[in-house]
Homo-oligomer: A and B are copies of this chain.
Amino acid sequence: MEVLANVDLVKKANIYFNGNVTSRTFIDTDGSKKSLGIMMPGEYNFGTNEPELMEILAGEVEVKLAGEDTWNTYTENTSFNVKGNSDFDIKVKTITDYCCSYIK
Protein backbone atom coordinates (compact mmCIF):
# COMPACT_ATOMS: atom_id res chain seq x y z
CA MET A 1 0.00 0.00 0.00
CA GLU A 2 1.66 3.19 -1.17
CA VAL A 3 1.53 6.05 1.33
CA LEU A 4 2.44 9.63 0.45
CA ALA A 5 4.20 10.87 3.58
CA ASN A 6 4.12 14.42 4.95
CA VAL A 7 1.89 15.98 2.34
CA ASP A 8 -0.33 19.04 2.79
CA LEU A 9 -3.88 17.98 1.97
CA VAL A 10 -6.70 20.39 1.11
CA LYS A 11 -9.66 19.28 3.21
CA LYS A 12 -12.47 20.15 0.77
CA ALA A 13 -12.95 18.20 -2.43
CA ASN A 14 -12.94 19.54 -5.97
CA ILE A 15 -16.24 18.57 -7.59
CA TYR A 16 -16.67 18.52 -11.40
CA PHE A 17 -19.33 17.26 -13.80
CA ASN A 18 -22.08 17.07 -11.15
CA GLY A 19 -19.84 14.98 -8.94
CA ASN A 20 -18.99 12.41 -11.59
CA VAL A 21 -15.39 13.56 -11.27
CA THR A 22 -14.06 14.52 -7.84
CA SER A 23 -10.55 15.07 -6.56
CA ARG A 24 -8.50 16.07 -3.54
CA THR A 25 -5.59 18.46 -3.99
CA PHE A 26 -2.36 18.01 -2.08
CA ILE A 27 1.12 19.48 -2.07
CA ASP A 28 3.83 16.84 -2.17
CA THR A 29 7.02 17.12 -0.13
CA ASP A 30 8.88 18.57 -3.15
CA GLY A 31 6.36 21.44 -3.27
CA SER A 32 4.61 20.15 -6.38
CA LYS A 33 0.83 20.28 -6.67
CA LYS A 34 -1.00 17.01 -7.30
CA SER A 35 -4.50 15.65 -6.98
CA LEU A 36 -6.01 12.25 -6.30
CA GLY A 37 -9.37 11.74 -7.93
CA ILE A 38 -12.21 9.48 -8.92
CA MET A 39 -13.97 9.47 -12.29
CA MET A 40 -17.30 7.70 -12.67
CA PRO A 41 -18.06 6.07 -16.06
CA GLY A 42 -18.84 8.66 -18.72
CA GLU A 43 -17.22 10.93 -21.30
CA TYR A 44 -15.48 14.13 -20.32
CA ASN A 45 -13.21 16.83 -21.71
CA PHE A 46 -10.54 18.36 -19.49
CA GLY A 47 -8.48 21.45 -20.19
CA THR A 48 -4.98 21.93 -18.82
CA ASN A 49 -3.05 24.96 -17.65
CA GLU A 50 0.23 23.38 -16.57
CA PRO A 51 1.35 20.17 -18.31
CA GLU A 52 0.00 17.15 -16.46
CA LEU A 53 1.02 13.58 -15.74
CA MET A 54 -2.05 11.40 -15.29
CA GLU A 55 -1.46 8.06 -13.52
CA ILE A 56 -4.27 5.52 -13.55
CA LEU A 57 -4.36 3.76 -10.16
CA ALA A 58 -7.44 1.61 -10.90
CA GLY A 59 -10.03 1.41 -13.65
CA GLU A 60 -9.94 1.83 -17.43
CA VAL A 61 -10.05 4.90 -19.63
CA GLU A 62 -9.66 5.75 -23.32
CA VAL A 63 -7.95 9.05 -24.03
CA LYS A 64 -7.62 11.27 -27.10
CA LEU A 65 -5.24 14.19 -26.75
CA ALA A 66 -5.94 17.51 -28.50
CA GLY A 67 -4.72 17.42 -32.11
CA GLU A 68 -4.56 13.64 -32.25
CA ASP A 69 -6.93 11.20 -33.94
CA THR A 70 -6.10 8.14 -31.89
CA TRP A 71 -7.79 6.88 -28.74
CA ASN A 72 -5.38 5.11 -26.38
CA THR A 73 -6.42 2.84 -23.54
CA TYR A 74 -4.94 3.19 -20.04
CA THR A 75 -5.50 0.87 -17.11
CA GLU A 76 -4.04 0.29 -13.63
CA ASN A 77 -0.39 1.30 -13.33
CA THR A 78 -0.20 3.07 -16.70
CA SER A 79 0.01 6.82 -17.26
CA PHE A 80 -0.10 9.51 -19.93
CA ASN A 81 1.15 13.06 -20.29
CA VAL A 82 -0.87 16.07 -21.41
CA LYS A 83 0.67 19.32 -22.68
CA GLY A 84 -0.01 22.63 -20.94
CA ASN A 85 -2.75 24.93 -22.28
CA SER A 86 -4.28 21.98 -24.05
CA ASP A 87 -7.11 19.55 -23.51
CA PHE A 88 -8.04 15.91 -23.82
CA ASP A 89 -11.15 13.79 -24.28
CA ILE A 90 -11.56 10.85 -21.95
CA LYS A 91 -14.01 7.95 -21.97
CA VAL A 92 -14.15 6.37 -18.52
CA LYS A 93 -15.09 2.70 -18.97
CA THR A 94 -15.07 1.61 -15.34
CA ILE A 95 -14.80 3.70 -12.18
CA THR A 96 -11.29 5.09 -12.26
CA ASP A 97 -8.93 6.14 -9.48
CA TYR A 98 -6.17 8.49 -10.64
CA CYS A 99 -3.31 10.71 -9.55
CA CYS A 100 -2.70 13.92 -11.50
CA SER A 101 0.63 15.73 -11.15
CA TYR A 102 0.93 19.30 -12.37
CA ILE A 103 4.35 19.78 -13.94
CA LYS A 104 6.20 23.09 -13.55
Contacts and interface: CB of A to CB of B under 8 A. Distances in A.
A11 B57 contact: yes
Given A6-B6, A7-B7, A38 B22 contact: yes
A13 B40 contact: no
Interface residues on A, range: 20 to 34
Q: How many copies does the complex hold?
A: 2
Contacts of A8: 3-7
B4 A11 contact: yes
Most buried by B among A6, A10, A13, A57: A13
Contacts of A85: none
Contact of A3 (B5, B11, B19): B11
A4 B11 CA distance: 6
A37 B29 CA distance: 23
A99 interface: yes
A97 B15 contact: yes
22 contacts: A1-B10, A1-B12, A2-B12, A3-B8, A3-B11, A4-B10, A4-B11, A7-B8, A9-B9, A9-B26, A9-B36, A12-B97, A13-B38, A13-B58, A15-B38, A15-B58, A15-B97, A19-B38, A22-B38, A24-B24, A24-B36, A40-B40
